[in-house]
Amino acid sequence: MDTTSDKGIAELQKENQQLTEQVRRLVAAENELYRIQSKLDLKLRLYRQLYEVSNQFNATFDLNEVLQIVIRFVLYELNFERCLVLLPTLEGKAFQVQALDGYYTDEEQETLSKFQLSATEPALLPLITKAERIICPANSDQEALRELGHRFHMDEYAILSLGGKGEEPIGLLIAGNSAEMAENQERVEAEGEAIISLANLANQATTTMKNLRFYQASKRFVPEEFLEFFQKGSIVDIALGDHLSKEMTIMFTDIRSFASISEKMTYQQVFDFVNSYYEQVSPIIRTFKGFIVKYMGDGIMAVFPNRADDALQAAITKQRCVAEYNEHRLKKGDPPIQIGVGLHTGHMMVGVVGEVDRMQGDAISDHVNLASRLEGLTKFYDASVIISSATHQGLLDPSNYKIRYLDRVCVKGKEEVIRLFEVFDGDPPELQMLKVETQENLARAQELYYDKKFVDAQVELFKVLARNPTDKVAWHFLVQAAQCLKDGVPETWTGDTVMITK
Partner 1 sequence: MNSLVICQAQYNLNKFSQIYTMSTKVGIGKSIHRNPKIAASEAVEMALNTGAIEKADFVFMFSSVGYDQKTIVKYVYDFCGGASLCGCSAEGTIAGWETDESNFSVVVMAIRSDELRLTNGIVGGLKSNSAEAGRAVAGSIRDRLNADTAGLFLFPDALTINFERFKTAMETELNLDRLLPLFGGLASDNWQWKQTYQYCNDQVTSDSAAWALLSGNLQIAGAVNHGCVSLGVSHKITRSEGNVIYEIDGKPSVETLRKYLSEAELTKGWGTSNMQFPLGFKLPDSVTEDYGQFFLRAMMSKDDQTGAVTVPTEVLQDETFYMTRRDYGLMVNGINRLGHQIKQQIGDKQPKLVFQFECCGRGKVFIREEQQSALLKSLRETVGSDVPWLGFFTYGEIGPLAGINQVHNYTCVMAAIY
Q: Does 23 bind partner 1 (CB under 8 A)?
A: yes
Least distance in Å: CB of 185 to partner 1? 7
Q: Does 24 bind partner 1 (CB under 8 A)?
A: yes
Amino acid 181 reads: M
DSSP 344: E
Distances (CA, A) of 393 to 190, 233, 237, 422: 72, 34, 36, 14
Q: Does 351 bind partner 1 (CB under 8 A)?
A: no
Q: Which is nearer to partner 1, 38 or 55 (CB)?
A: 38
Task: Out of 7, 11, 18, 20, point to the residue binding partner 1 (CB under 8 A).
Answer: 20
DSSP 398: G
What's the CA gap between 282 and 297, in Å, rounded? 14
Q: Which is nearer to partner 1, 20 or 360 (CB)?
A: 20
Q: Does 16 bind partner 1 (CB under 8 A)?
A: yes
Cα–Cα nearest to 341, from 299, 296, 310: 299
Q: Does 31 bind partner 1 (CB under 8 A)?
A: yes
Q: Which is nearer to partner 1, 157 or 230 (CB)?
A: 157
Note whether 95 and 80 are within 8 A (CB): no
| Span near partner 1 by CB under 8 A; candidates 23-31, 92-100, 346-354, 483-491 | 23-31
Least distance in Å: CB of 208 to partner 1? 24
214-238 residues labelled b (16+ CB within 10 A) or e (exposed) = eeeeeeeebbebbbebbeeeebeeb
Q: Which is nearer to partner 1, 41 or 224 (CB)?
A: 41
Question: Binding marks (x or -) toward partner 1, 43..82, rule CB under 8 A?
Answer: --x-----------------------------xx--x-x-
| Span near partner 1 by CB under 8 A; candidates 181-189, 287-295, 467-475, 488-496 | 181-189
What's the CA gap between 87 and 116, in Å, rounded? 9
Tell me the site size for partner 1, rule CB under 8 A.
26
Length of the chain counted residue by residue: 502
Contacts of 380 (CB under 8 A, 6+ apart): 472, 476, 499
Task: Out of 6, 36, 37, 213, point to the residue binding partner 1 (CB under 8 A).
Answer: 37
Note whether 304 and 289 are within 8 A (CB): yes
Q: Which is nearer to partner 1, 28 or 196 (CB)?
A: 28
Helix axes 2-58, 193-219, angle to 10 degrees: 10
Cα–Cα nearest to 155, from 174, 136, 172: 136
Q: Does 111 bind partner 1 (CB under 8 A)?
A: no
Q: Does 345 bind partner 1 (CB under 8 A)?
A: no
Q: Which of residues 411-470 bind partner 1 (CB under 8 A)?
A: none
What's the CA gap between 74 and 62, in Å, rounded? 19
Cα–Cα nearest to 97, from 152, 50, 145: 152
Q: Which is nearer to partner 1, 81 or 309 (CB)?
A: 81
Residues that bind partner 1 (CB under 8 A): 16, 19-21, 23-24, 27-28, 31, 34, 37-38, 41, 45, 75-76, 79, 81, 101-104, 181, 183-185
